[in-house]
Amino acid sequence: MPQERTTVTFKSSAFNTTEPKEHFINPCCFGDDLARWMIQALYDRGIDAEEEPGQEDFGWYLRFKLQGQEYCFVLGFRPGDENEEGDWIGELERDCGFIASLFGGRKRNIRPEAAEAIHVILSDSAEIWDLRWHRRADLDTGREEQGSLQP
């Protein structure tokens, strides 16, 4: 059975990628404004989400609940080099608790409706482009060309 497409990459100039904030754990910890925008977009679609995002050492995460299952959407900015602009990367995970996560539970049993909810939010915005969904294994092995327009 093929792995689900639960990782998304996209481009946008609507969110901060250049000005580190005092509350960032690391100077490149961009994405707080994107995470807050995503939370509001989830609310607007009637999806229950935590009010504030959390911070990781590389970016941010937000939690939401859909059809009785809790999910975590982790996102961060990947800077480009002198020949390429950067992009955003988001990873959809199932919120399953500490013990289950040790055994890979965060990556399993992610319902298609959860990825579709994220997809609709991102694809409906005129400020987001080059949206691609990936299998995590493809990204980890440098095969981003395997990305799909749909989750």
Report how far residue 103's alpha carbon sits from residue 139's, in angstroms, rounded to the nearest whole number: 21
* Helix count and strand count (H, E) for the chain: 4, 7
| Phi-psi map region of 70: left, alpha, beta (phi>0 left; psi -120 to 50 alpha) | beta
Contact of 17 with 29, CB cutoff 8 Å: no
Which residues, including other chains, have CB under 8 Å from residue 111's CB and lie 6 or more apart?
A: 66, 67, 69
Q: 7-126 sits in which CATH class? A: alpha beta
Q: How confident is the model at residue 137 (pLDDT cuts 50, 70, 90)?
A: confident
On whether the pTM is more than 0.85, the answer is yes
State pLDDT tens for residues 31-77.
999 999 999 999 999 999 999 999 999 899 999 999 999 999 999 99
**Domain regions of the chain by residue span:** 7-126
